[in-house]
Structure 1
Amino acid sequence: MSVNVSNSVVKRSNGSDLCLGEYTGKVLLIINLASRCGFTRQYAGLQKLQDDYGAEGLKVLGFPCNDFGNQEPGTVEKIQEFCSTVYGVNFEIFDKVSALENKSAPYDLLTQSEPFEEIAWNFEKFLIDKKGYVIGRYKSGIEPDDAGLVSDIVSALNT
């Protein structure tokens, strides 16, 4: 079963709603973020993906999440400041979400995609094709520069 997230409405960091369908025609990489996690260093690699492939249609979308070890306790403003100051992040960071109980969009749909399991930790990544379908899921330990992930992004951009 392939899940489509196009109708998912998410909250931007300023509180306004955004329908992910507005990104139709773009390839999305959706990540649940945490600024106090052992994987926090991945911010730099995620920004590099945005820099390297953004002009070709990749959009990295970050969703701060405090569900795992309380590793994202700050406000969205503090999170954005940290990410831009420490890692030079300029990809979009949305409002905080829940990826476990009472799941926020888009995680209510993302966890319905194969392999049909809950998010295990911070920095889990979902690759979404140009039509809004989930085409890949990558565990936290998969670095943004992983050859398989990059290959899947390039393939999705060329489809």
Structure 2
Amino acid sequence: MKIYDFVMKDAQGQEVSLGDYQGKVLLIVNTATRCGLTPQYEELQQLYDRYADQGLEILDFPCNQFREQAPESSSEIAQVCQMKFGTKFKIFDKVEVNGENTAPLYAYLKSEKPEDRGNHVFKDLLLKLASIGEKREGSDIKWNFTKFLVNREGEVVARFAPSVQPFEIENDIRALL
């Protein structure tokens, strides 16, 4: 199985083949509109503005699994992000990233890169405190705004912790473009 084999629904419910993104560098992010990390949308959009013409695509997968911080419908989430943060990148339908209903795409991403990169001890401690009482196992996504970087050949090359700001991975993105 490759990343290009997956078909996902976008925020409007239309099926999108990830094969449409062959030859692009992908940054795949699980997001939430009511999370303390939501301001990362600003940096994500700035990265998209800088590098979309060189082949960067950001794929946004809202997720309501972490303290129900994405309660809106997928289309409402897309509207909020476009109005509040000026997002122009693709926003998909809400997914589950952990548990028995994990979206197959996220099961694949986690199997390819089970560990987060990024050493942000204080920020990561705050995330752990925020998720007390929520069961996490091995490669599970720890929180909103976990980022997966995929090269032009469709290989998952890195996974970044939620506390890693988008600008902190700009050099990783540039190296793949």
**Common fold, TM-score beyond 0.5?**
yes
- Could you tell me which amino acid in structure 2 is paired with residue 37 of structure 1? C
Q: Confirm whether residue 63 of structure 1 aligns to residue 83 of structure 2.
A: no
Residue equivalent to 1:27? 25
Deviations 1:81-104 (A, max 9, x none): 111111111111000101012111
Runs of 5+ consecutive residues of structure 1 not aligned to the other structure? none
- Could you tell me which amino acid in structure 2 is paired with residue 153 of structure 1? I
Identity of aligned residues (%): 41
- Structure whose CA Rg is larger: 2
> Is this contact kept in 1: 2:12–2:75, CA < 8 A?
no
2:172 to 138, 142, 152: 152
Higher relative contact order, chain-length normalized (CA < 8 Å, sep 6+): 1
Q: Pairwise CA RMSD of aligned residues?
A: 1.2
Give the distance between the partners of 1:156 and 1:113, measured in 2 at CA: 18
Residue equivalent to 1:48? 46
Residue equivalent to 2:5? 7
Residue equivalent to 1:114? 113
Give the distance between the partners of 1:155 and 1:22, measured in 2 at CA: 22
Runs of 5+ consecutive residues of structure 2 not aligned to the other structure? 116-138
Determine helix, strand or coil for the equivalent of 1:112.
Answer: helix
For normalisation by structure 1, the TM-score amounts to 0.92
Higher mean C-alpha displacement, 101-110 vs 27-36: 101-110
Counterparts in 2 of 1:82-97, with a 5 A limit?
Answer: 82-97=80-95
Give the distance between the partners of 1:115 and 1:99, measured in 2 at CA: 13
- Could you tell me which amino acid in structure 2 is paired with residue 32 of structure 1? N
For normalisation by structure 2, the TM-score amounts to 0.83
Give the distance between the partners of 2:93 and 2:68, measured in 1 at CA: 16
Determine helix, strand or coil for the equivalent of 1:96.
Answer: coil
- Could you tell me which amino acid in structure 2 is paired with residue 113 of structure 1? E
Give the distance between the partners of 2:57 and 2:48, measured in 1 at CA: 6
Residue equivalent to 2:162? 140
Residue equivalent to 2:129? none
Q: Report the alpha carbon displacement of residue 105 of structure 1 after superposing the two structures with TM.
A: 3.6
Deviations 1:23-42 (A, max 9, x none): 11100000001000010000
Give the distance between the partners of 1:32 and 1:129, measured in 2 at CA: 18
Runs of 4+ with >2 A deviation: none
Instruction: Count how many residue pairs are aligned between Structure 1 and Structure 2.
Output: 153
Q: Report the alpha carbon displacement of residue 4 of structure 1 after superposing the two structures with TM.
A: 3.3
- Could you tell me which amino acid in structure 2 is paired with residue 47 of structure 1? Q
- Could you tell me which amino acid in structure 2 is paired with residue 85 of structure 1? M
- Could you tell me which amino acid in structure 1 is paired with residue 74 of structure 2? V
* Bigger helix share: 2
Determine helix, strand or coil for the equivalent of 1:15.
Answer: coil
- Could you tell me which amino acid in structure 1 is paired with residue 175 of structure 2? S
